Amino acid sequence: LLDTLKLLEADPEFLPPLPYQPKFSKDYKYAWIDGDLDSISLTTDNLEKFGKLNCSLGAPEEGTLLSETKLQNIMSFLDEMEKSEQERPRSVTSASQQEGLLPEEELAHLDQVSAVATEVTSSIQKLKLEVEEKKRAVAFLQRALAQQQELTGQHVKDVQKELTHQLTMQREQYEGAIQRHLAFIDQLIDDKRALNQKCEAVVSELKLVDQK
């Protein structure tokens, strides 16, 4: 570190050039922490490089004091490093906060999944209720069909019985009418036979009268 301070005390034209940064970007600020810009970090290798450069330039005279400009440069450099160190935890904290958002996103996703599951469960319950209602309706229709079939069978039996009774009565009526007609015919035949006999008797009497 002493060699580095001595190097900063040296003339600016002998200092190693730093990478050009139009604006002191965030990455450039954190380079001394992340190790992205090894040329400005106070590492052992850089200290050795600065020490070798200091040796090549020659040791400064003893008792040499830091000029005001160079001291301001050193203080500015240290202030900038301190600011970078203060801003670095903020970025880390913001990153951790962003990482902390993941559980919230996961919770939101879980809430969404839970809502979908609740909706699916509700739909399943509704379908179950509809199925139960359909089952009850089918059972009611089956009972009604069985009753209707029983009533239809009884009605068919009653109709058959009534028709059989009617046919029996009609047969009896027809048979009675036929018997009456046959009796009438027999009566006519008997009457004709009797008339024939009477006619023959009259004819016989007339013949006897003629003979006399």
H helical segments located in 10-67: 26-29, 31-34, 44-57
Contact 10, 61 (CB under 8 A): no
pLDDT at residue 181, rounded to an integer: 94
Residue 167 in any domain: the answer is: yes
Model confidence at 137, pLDDT cuts 50, 70, 90, reads: very high
Local structure of residue 36 (DSSP, 8 states): S
Instruction: Establish if 195 belongs to a structural domain.
Output: no
Q: What is the mean pLDDT of residues 5-11?
A: 58
- Tell me whether residue 4 is in a domain: no
What's the structural domain count of the chain?
A: 1
Instruction: Determine the average pLDDT of the residues in 87-108.
Output: 58
Quick one: pLDDT at residue 6?
A: 60
Q: Looking at residues 109-137, what average pLDDT do you find?
A: 88
154 pLDDT higher than 70: yes
Q: Identify whether 161 is part of a domain.
A: yes
Burial of residue 84 (number of CB atoms within 10 Å: 0-12, 13-18, 19+): middle
Asked if residues 14 and 57 have their Cβ atoms less than 8 Å apart, the reply is yes
Residue 101 falls within a domain, yes or no?
A: no
Q: How confident is the model at residue 68 (pLDDT cuts 50, 70, 90)?
A: low
Residue 130 has pLDDT above 90, yes or no: yes
Is 204 part of a structural domain of the chain? Answer: no
The helix/strand/coil state of 82 is: helix
Domain, as residue range, for 115: 107-184
| 24-48: average pLDDT | 46
